Structure 1
């Protein structure tokens, strides 16, 4: 897999679009605004008191009847998927979307106009790496009622396949695939939303498609078009005449692709999975996708990612030749047995250090802690982490043998697991702030048996001793 560092992106300047909300029929103003790193996608309701902001999150989804709708603290956003798909499709990670209504303008029923606006605003790289979840095993969700299913499997990049089956003569089985997200603009963005005639009749009866006209939806005629239905449609859409084309769609527009319906379903999948809040490196396969199954899968992914990151244990290759062996460590640190609690340095940069200790039954502290149940004292785990941090701190001076490091402060110490004879401890320390004036502030974690065993924030001072 590629190890190239990919930076987060936002837009260079704000840009505004105007249109009509599909379900309200009201004119809507939408403004895309630049956002800082790690901001993600968020909507701001400028028509509400205090102009509240709501994060685009699967955990807030409340309804998926005619689009993906979410709400938090009384702030709601409806039909978010086409806007979010445009952001994902252009590789934009951070953007604030201002609206003066609950739903974005429907435009032509696709992501095309949002993509054009975002490109016009310009895309800017930020000084932060992308937040990406790498799929290592299949993850799936199935809606037993409908047979809809989504799964993601390992892949070198984000890929999506949508397989749809509408079980009708006019629109049967269709498939669409996006092998690389950079092809979104050319192959997926202009795929428009669609409806079946029986759905359209119901929506009109319930007043749920006030902003819709026959220029922003493909209508598949899946039942006999009765004269009275024809008249209602002509009135609803302000048309003098309406007819059915030989391919079974109303004559309001021409298909962009034979499989435009499948491509639009793929577009919806991308927009809905944006609610995970993290880029995905994996191939998504969506079978009979819909907003409900899409967002349920997004919730599962968001919760899985959160849980895994909370329990994340980095992997280090202990079979590689160490950066520093015990002799090199002793040439740098003044500690000696029985208080030298570090065997190797595995990695080091100007911002981090990784050390290792093999814990054996021969450790002198096991004689009294405890004779019948040997457990490594937590204070010695902290000391061992500090010794690894001392290697990093002393690497900043030309003559480390003439310096010592002294604790100034220890904060947020937590002990998660017991450390016993036979364990291999890995210490992973990262600078919280750059070393200045001899002050070293680090976040330290100790791992054993693929588990976090202890952690702390350590502050130490590098002090020069008298030359010998």
Structure 2
């Protein structure tokens, strides 16, 4: 399946649950491989925090992210809406540290995304296909998340709140296409004993009885009721026969379990990759959800690192050495790409046969020849140069110049007789001739080198 973003920007306004401040939030279309990220437009430099489990710093009353001192609170409902609507790339602009709470569900976010609609992008969607059972258990609470192989992304939550008013509840999402109807409108909830503590500590300034279900799990005194009436600016509150404060009507009898499922979907979005598997969550909460997301992220990263692409090298290349020399200014012995196998707007695949005749073997460990790592990086850069030069009509008039390289890692030796495959893909769109890409080199079905590379194409006359 192709990646998807939204057709155009859409704005929502409301108040933050914890701050009580007015919030304007904007969903903005984003390029391929962007994923989800939050931008604080109210701060200098408009810093961006990626929706990444690495940035989770606190899970009390929501999943809270922080990067370089910049915070985002209660991210989970917005992320759940994006996953539920099967949208891959969106920038979420905020003029406050948290999204608007709305009615405590993902309903209004889903509706906003539905209004602007989604569009396919020119890149395949990455998906983590679960092949083995993966689990994470919190021994202190007994909470446990497990994921098992399945044909689609599915989630089942089983919750036991240990109270008579709620007891045990279950909820299941068999397919993301059911998210809007089955899960999105499930609102957040709180128990009375939690609410009293939150109000006393000033932690729920934007809360009212329209965005949180309050379950009364203890005897309520006249004094406490008066405090709640003042906090919620209500003349009269009461406890209904179903144990809910005031007159808020449940959408479903198991709305609490459905909301816990919504939270699981939002929190697991922090793993950074679409999931194909069935999640079984027993007593889920933001802490265990995000710990599980971190575990999944590590597994996914290792799988990506070790996943070796396969190409049929017996097929005619997309570009042979003559076509490469028509585009690249390099010449032997410093031309380090023999063939181009694939080329799109966002990626390129090249190949080099490493032979004992390479001039660098004469002086580089002549008794035990090894291809220098810097030349492996140069070969990846030349392959990436094909990608960036393919965007101009006269590539012969341009040079590709290195700007920087990051996260360079050498995994295996490259020896005479090896066939190197280079895969370079854009990290961000090419702008003003600047190309930022992730590059990998493979040989003998192993990853031998990887790096983030940035280069710029300039006209030949500009370099003189």
Residue 334 of structure 2 is matched in structure 1 by none
Task: Classify 1:350/1:151 alpha carbon distance in 2 versus 1 (closer, same or farther; 3 Å).
Answer: same
The alpha-carbon deviation at position 111 of structure 1 amounts to 0.6
**Distance between the aligned counterparts of 2:270 and 2:32, measured in 1?**
17
Contact 1:44–1:96 (CA under 8 A) maintained in structure 2: yes
1:34 to 29, 32, 44: 29
Residue 16 of structure 1 is matched in structure 2 by 12
Query: What are the equivalent positions in structure 2 for 1:180-329 lying under 5 Å apart?
Result: 180-237=175-232, 238-245=234-241, 247-309=242-304, 311-314=305-308, 316=310
Moved more, 224-233 or 251-260: 224-233
The alpha-carbon deviation at position 68 of structure 1 amounts to 0.9
1:245-288 residue CA offsets vs partner (Å, 9 max, x unmatched): 2x222233111111110100010111111222222222222111
The alpha-carbon deviation at position 86 of structure 1 amounts to 1.0
Query: What are the equivalent positions in structure 2 for 1:20-419 lying under 5 Å apart?
Result: 20-237=15-232, 238-245=234-241, 247-309=242-304, 311-314=305-308, 316=310, 416-418=411-413
Task: Classify 1:377/1:126 alpha carbon distance in 2 versus 1 (closer, same or farther; 3 Å).
Answer: closer
**Distance between the aligned counterparts of 1:60 and 1:431, measured in 2?**
25
Contact 2:144–2:283 (CA under 8 A) maintained in structure 1: yes
**Distance between the aligned counterparts of 2:314 and 2:35, measured in 1?**
39
Q: 1:93 is paired with a residue of what secondary structure?
A: coil
**Distance between the aligned counterparts of 1:32 and 1:454, measured in 2?**
33
The alpha-carbon deviation at position 136 of structure 1 amounts to 2.2
Give TM-score scaled by structure 2 length.
Answer: 0.73
The alpha-carbon deviation at position 231 of structure 1 amounts to 2.3
Bigger Rg, structure 1 or 2:
1
**Distance between the aligned counterparts of 1:415 and 1:69, measured in 2?**
35
Contact 2:137–2:143 (CA under 8 A) maintained in structure 1: yes
Task: Classify 1:126/1:21 alpha carbon distance in 2 versus 1 (closer, same or farther; 3 Å).
Answer: same
What are the ranges of 5 or more consecutive residues in structure 1 without an aligned counterpart? 330-344, 360-368, 390-407, 433-442, 458-468
Q: CA RMSD in A?
A: 4.7
The alpha-carbon deviation at position 348 of structure 1 amounts to 5.8
**Distance between the aligned counterparts of 1:414 and 1:11, measured in 2?**
38
**Distance between the aligned counterparts of 1:350 and 1:198, measured in 2?**
60
Task: Classify 1:374/1:216 alpha carbon distance in 2 versus 1 (closer, same or farther; 3 Å).
Answer: same
1:56-79 residue CA offsets vs partner (Å, 9 max, x unmatched): 221111111111111112211111
1:452 to 439, 448, 455: 448
**Distance between the aligned counterparts of 1:454 and 1:279, measured in 2?**
23
The alpha-carbon deviation at position 226 of structure 1 amounts to 2.2
Across the two proteins, how many residue pairs are aligned to each other? 413
What are the ranges of 5 or more consecutive residues in structure 2 without an aligned counterpart? 321-338, 356-363, 384-398, 427-438, 454-464
Q: 1:118 is paired with a residue of what secondary structure?
A: helix
Give TM-score scaled by structure 1 length.
Answer: 0.72
Task: Classify 1:429/1:308 alpha carbon distance in 2 versus 1 (closer, same or farther; 3 Å).
Answer: closer
Task: Classify 1:227/1:101 alpha carbon distance in 2 versus 1 (closer, same or farther; 3 Å).
Answer: same
1:210-255 residue CA offsets vs partner (Å, 9 max, x unmatched): 211111111112111222222222222214231232x222233111
**Distance between the aligned counterparts of 1:454 and 1:54, measured in 2?**
24
The alpha-carbon deviation at position 321 of structure 1 amounts to 12
